[in-house]
């Protein structure tokens, strides 16, 4: 029987970007079902003791950049570790992922999410900008009307519900992967995710 992975993330998370392609490869190899669970990181941080980047100590901010560069090189993932538009709000793109998932399925939503990551971390584009997101919908051959759906009540309620589910599952950062109630935090825990899916 295939397993299900709840994939908790924020579209502006650099660590989610670094692990995204590898996670999808691991899930596909295991025949696992991925359930997309974008979450509002500001709320998660505020309720679990996390600090926004700007409020972290200078030494922590500097080391974060060192680690991003190390991981990007190790994984051979192209990345601007200090993109032009960062910090940036991720809510609009998160809601678009939900709207796509509802209307066109997980595969289409994952393709769009990959395009969002690429736009931010490789192309240095503003993923909070409506025009940018509209362009990404077009690139992914998705209808422009999804932007309206993303702002609608159903999607907004789901976004809030996914955020609460994250908190209920003990999630405190992105990316997080939950398999049968077991939490794995961080793209550097994907070896353990792979083992759990294969066991």
What is 135-198 written as a DSSP string? HHHHHTT--TTHHHHHTSHHHHHHHHHHHHHHHHTT--SSSEEEETTEEEESGGGHHHHHHHHH
Provide the domain count of the chain.
Answer: 1
Report the C-alpha dihedral over residues 197, 116, 173, 72, rounded to 10 degrees.
80
Q: Per-residue pLDDT for 159 more than 80?
A: yes
Beta-strand pair 182-185/33-38 = unpaired
Which residues constitute the domain of residue 16?
4-198
Burial group, residue 19, by CB count within 10 angstroms (0-12, 13-18, 19+): buried
Query: What is the chain's Cα-based Rg?
Result: 16
| pLDDT of res. 100 | 98
DSSP state letter for 116 = H
How far apart (Å, rounded) are the C-alpha atoms in residues 73 and 138?
31
Give pTM, 2 decimals.
Answer: 0.96
pLDDT tens digit sequence for 28-76: 999 999 999 999 999 999 999 999 999 999 999 999 999 999 999 999 9
| pLDDT of res. 1 | 61
Helix (H) or strand (E) holding 37: strand 33-38
CATH number (domain holding residue 83) = 3.40.30.10
The residue assigned the tokens 């190790």 is 74
């Amino acid at each position: 029987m295939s397993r299900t992975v709840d994939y908790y993330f924020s579209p502006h998370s650099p660590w989610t970007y670094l692990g995204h392609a590898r996670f999808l490869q691991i899930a596909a190899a295991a025949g696992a079902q991925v359930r997309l669970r974008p979450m509002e990181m500001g709320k998660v941080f505020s309720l679990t003791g996390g600090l926004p980047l700007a409020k972290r100590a200078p030494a922590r901010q500097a080391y974060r950049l060192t680690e991003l560069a190390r991981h990007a090189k190790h994984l051979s993932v192209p990345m601007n570790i200090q993109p032009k538009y960062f910090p940036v709000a991720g809510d609009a793109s998160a809601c678009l992922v939900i709207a796509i998932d509802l209307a066109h399925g997980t595969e289409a939503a994952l393709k769009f999410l990959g395009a969002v990551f690429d736009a931010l971390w490789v192309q240095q584009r503003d993923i909070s900008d409506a025009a940018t997101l509209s362009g990404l919908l077009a690139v992914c051959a998705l209808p422009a009307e999804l932007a309206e759906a993303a702002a609608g009540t159903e999607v907004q309620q789901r976004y809030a519900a996914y955020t609460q589910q994250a908190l209920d599952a003990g999630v405190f950062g992105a990316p997080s992967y939950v398999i049968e109630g077991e939490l794995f935090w961080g793209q550097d825990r994907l070896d353990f995710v792979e083992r759990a899916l294969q066991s």
